A and B are shown apart, each in its own frame.
Chain A
């Protein structure tokens, strides 16, 4: 799970960014800020893993806030600016990425993962390549070790199929095997029943896995 703080002075943009990124299974928005001062405060309080920062904000700009903050938290600038000057400024202030506000959600999520993984996205020619390597969610060790069959069962659980016999019928396996798989799933996701497993599957985005 990657904890992030978002700063943008445009209220609608801030809310949309927070809501959109919160819908990504391995990203959690721990706080939002409408200016540089709020950003500094939020970072001190929540110690997030990654920052998404707008440049132009009232009172203390994003760049000024980044200069003020310790450089150990990777920050990605998300801006309406296109200029080389702004990019250089962002880089000098310690930003690891410089993205357009037009960036679609999957790319933003990938950028957050890349930043958390210590990558930089400042050179426009390399951004796509870096983002491509971080498209899939980073799951916890337990969730990551789920087998294909276990993921299939989770997908069925999430879609409302929960009775053991139905699961067995749909997957052409015995009810005994279904129960074994469920026990493994409970352990890997640290849950204790089918309903909790279904909720966890949806949160992690596992219910969206394409069959085959």
Chain B
């Protein structure tokens, strides 16, 4: 484009007037165009060098106009070249500045040379138009580029986040399958670690809000010195606490750094267990909803319509010998549809209280003067709400008996729950009793047995006077022990 301009300028310069002045104008503008062509693009289009070049261009062009008395349209056009560069490559402000400068310069020439007003007006309007049009075009291009850059950055960030999440999920899936994430194991390892390094005679690890005490070690009541309690904090959340009983005369504050190190790991593990539980509960709920929807929307109505077809067969009595079978079939279908209805209702019931929730309730209800309760339950897949409620009631009764009647100092609640199967034990170090004596039927044992039977389970009580009591409730087929 600039080459074409140079040609035009030369041509017009040669063809207009005679003398030296037009030639000077032609050489000056042609020289400017050559300079513009040779200067590297990054200087020409940006910053101070670009501004200087644009202003120089305006000055040179106006000079050419002046020298040729404005008689040559080529030079007037030439003024718009630097305006175009400034507007298109350096933005609105500089473009308009250069355009205004050119306009004032041009007006000055018009005044000095006494040219007509119309010419000057057209010239000024043209310069401003070039400045405006190209700076506007540039702005649109810049905005577009910014938008597409932002979009690609967003996409890249999203991919990066997904990759991170995926890595995390893979690791979690791996960790979730190991015993590292059993609260009891975590607690035991931590206490064992602390006991080896610190002057302590006992400790307890508790996890909140799901569980109470999960692990305990030592005989903390021996020396009568109270424990020091350390909260387990992960991020913003308190996920449990650890209580440590110092040995006689020992000062645990000296070991604050070591304790902090160990407890940070425990806090992180507990938080992970909590988060995993949330993820598992949510996916279980989603799956339940999906199954419920299919049963409700399709399988149930399809069965019901089958029932109506059988009803019509009975009604027409095409073959009376078949009537008894058809009626039996109808009854079967009716009860099937009713069972589907019941299953849909059970799946949709908001009550997804787990066995763990019930245990947590038991622990919090007992209060401070209660015996120490150690909980170690591996609830891999939550039992359905009804089963969890029955099992929870059995546990409540067993714990109450141990606390109120047996005078126990320590109660353990342990076992496994895996969906519709499970085995849980409540054992205490209390008085115990002779199961063969008549009062063995007291303490709500019959009630507990009925509750166990209601979920198709089994309840056994083993006890001897002076040797504590153990209540075991089992339901579903036997649970395989992990590890």
A10 is contacted by which of B298, B311, B333, B344 (Cβ under 8 Å)?
B298
CB distance from B330 to the nearest CB of A (A): 6
Q: CB-defined interface of B358-369 with A at 8 Å, one 1/0 digit per residue?
A: 000000000000
CB distance from B87 to the nearest CB of A (A): 57
Asked whether any CB of chain A lies closer than 8 Å to the CB of B309, the reply is yes
Asked whether any CB of chain B lies closer than 8 Å to the CB of A77, the reply is no
Query: Which residues 90-128 of A have a CB within 8 angstroms of B?
Result: 100-102, 104-106
Query: Contacts of B42 on A, CB cut-off 8 Å?
Result: none
Least CB separation from A9: chain B residue: B297
CB distance from B325 to the nearest CB of A (A): 16
A17 is contacted by which of B305, B315, B317 (Cβ under 8 Å)?
B305
**B301 A102 Cβ-Cβ under 8 A:** no
**B337 A102 Cβ-Cβ under 8 A:** yes
Least CB separation from B349: chain A residue: A83
B344 is contacted by which of A17, A80, A208 (Cβ under 8 Å)?
A80
In the complex the two chains form, what is the Cα distance from A15 to B312 in whole Å?
13
Asked whether any CB of chain B lies closer than 8 Å to the CB of A19, the reply is yes
Number of residues from B at the complex interface, CB < 8 A: 30
Q: CB-defined interface of A1-45 with B at 8 Å, one 1/0 digit per residue?
A: 000000011101101110110010000000000000000000000
In the complex the two chains form, what is the Cα distance from A53 to B29 in whole Å?
89
Q: A23-B315, A80-B340 are in contact. Are A13 and B345 (CB under 8 A)?
A: no
Asked whether any CB of chain B lies closer than 8 Å to the CB of A151, the reply is no
CB distance from B1 to the nearest CB of A (A): 62
A80 is contacted by which of B300, B333, B335, B336 (Cβ under 8 Å)?
B300
In the complex the two chains form, what is the Cα distance from A9 to B298 in whole Å?
10
**A10 B305 Cβ-Cβ under 8 A:** yes
Query: Which residues 297-341 of B have a CB within 8 angstroms of A?
Result: 297-298, 300-302, 304-309, 311-312, 315-317, 330, 333-338, 340-341
**B334 A20 Cβ-Cβ under 8 A:** no
Least CB separation from A23: chain B residue: B312
Q: CB-defined interface of B30-72 with A at 8 Å, one 1/0 digit per residue?
A: 0000000000000000000000000000000000000000000
**A104 B334 Cβ-Cβ under 8 A:** yes
Asked whether any CB of chain A lies closer than 8 Å to the CB of B342, the reply is yes
Asked whether any CB of chain B lies closer than 8 Å to the CB of A194, the reply is no
Query: Contacts of A83 on B, CB cut-off 8 Å?
Result: 345
A20 is contacted by which of B296, B312, B337 (Cβ under 8 Å)?
B312
Least CB separation from B305: chain A residue: A16
B302 is contacted by which of A13, A23, A56, A82 (Cβ under 8 Å)?
A13
In the complex the two chains form, what is the Cα distance from A105 to B341 in whole Å?
18
**A208 B317 Cβ-Cβ under 8 A:** yes
**Which of under 10, 10 to 19, 20 to 34, or 35 or more describes the interface residues of A?**
20 to 34
**A105 B311 Cβ-Cβ under 8 A:** yes
Asked whether any CB of chain B lies closer than 8 Å to the CB of A81, the reply is yes
Query: Contacts of A100 on B, CB cut-off 8 Å?
Result: 337-338, 341
**B345 A17 Cβ-Cβ under 8 A:** no
Query: Contacts of A16 on B, CB cut-off 8 Å?
Result: 304-306, 308-309
B345 is contacted by which of A9, A56, A82, A104 (Cβ under 8 Å)?
A82
In the complex the two chains form, what is the Cα distance from A8 to B301 in whole Å?
9
**B341 A10 Cβ-Cβ under 8 A:** no
Least CB separation from A207: chain B residue: B317
Least CB separation from B336: chain A residue: A102
In the complex the two chains form, what is the Cα distance from A16 to B311 in whole Å?
10
Query: Which residues 140-189 of B have a CB within 8 angstroms of A?
Result: none
Query: Contacts of B301 on A, CB cut-off 8 Å?
Result: 8, 10, 12-13, 80, 101
In the complex the two chains form, what is the Cα distance from A100 to B300 in whole Å?
11
**A10 B315 Cβ-Cβ under 8 A:** no
Least CB separation from A106: chain B residue: B311
**B311 A81 Cβ-Cβ under 8 A:** no
In the complex the two chains form, what is the Cα distance from A133 to B201 in whole Å?
79
A104 is contacted by which of B307, B336, B342 (Cβ under 8 Å)?
B307
CB distance from B97 to the nearest CB of A (A): 62
**A80 B341 Cβ-Cβ under 8 A:** yes
In the complex the two chains form, what is the Cα distance from A80 to B316 in whole Å?
27
In the complex the two chains form, what is the Cα distance from A80 to B295 in whole Å?
9
Query: Contacts of A105 on B, CB cut-off 8 Å?
Result: 308, 311-312, 315
Query: Contacts of B298 on A, CB cut-off 8 Å?
Result: 10
In the complex the two chains form, what is the Cα distance from A81 to B344 in whole Å?
8
In the complex the two chains form, what is the Cα distance from A56 to B307 in whole Å?
20
Query: Contacts of B295 on A, CB cut-off 8 Å?
Result: 80
Query: Contacts of A20 on B, CB cut-off 8 Å?
Result: 308-309, 311-312
**A81 B308 Cβ-Cβ under 8 A:** no
CB distance from B286 to the nearest CB of A (A): 19
In the complex the two chains form, what is the Cα distance from A80 to B311 in whole Å?
19
In the complex the two chains form, what is the Cα distance from A75 to B316 in whole Å?
28
Query: Contacts of B315 on A, CB cut-off 8 Å?
Result: 23, 105, 208
B337 is contacted by which of A23, A101, A208 (Cβ under 8 Å)?
A101
Query: Contacts of A9 on B, CB cut-off 8 Å?
Result: 297
**A104 B341 Cβ-Cβ under 8 A:** no
In the complex the two chains form, what is the Cα distance from A90 to B342 in whole Å?
19
Query: Contacts of A8 on B, CB cut-off 8 Å?
Result: 301
CB distance from A16 to the nearest CB of B (A): 4
8 pairs from A and B in contact (CB 8 Å cutoff): A16-B308, A19-B312, A23-B312, A81-B345, A102-B334, A102-B335, A105-B308, A106-B311
Q: Lowest 7 A-B CB distances belong to which pairs?
A: A105-B311, A102-B337, A16-B305, A10-B301, A13-B301, A101-B304, A20-B308
Residues of chain B having any CB pair with chain A under 8 Å: 295-298, 300-302, 304-309, 311-312, 315-317, 330, 333-338, 340-342, 344-345
Contacts A10-B301, A82-B341, A102-B337 known; list 20 others, CB within 8 Å.
A9-B297, A10-B298, A12-B302, A16-B305, A16-B309, A17-B305, A20-B308, A23-B315, A56-B297, A81-B341, A82-B342, A100-B337, A100-B338, A100-B341, A101-B300, A101-B337, A102-B304, A102-B336, A106-B311, A208-B317
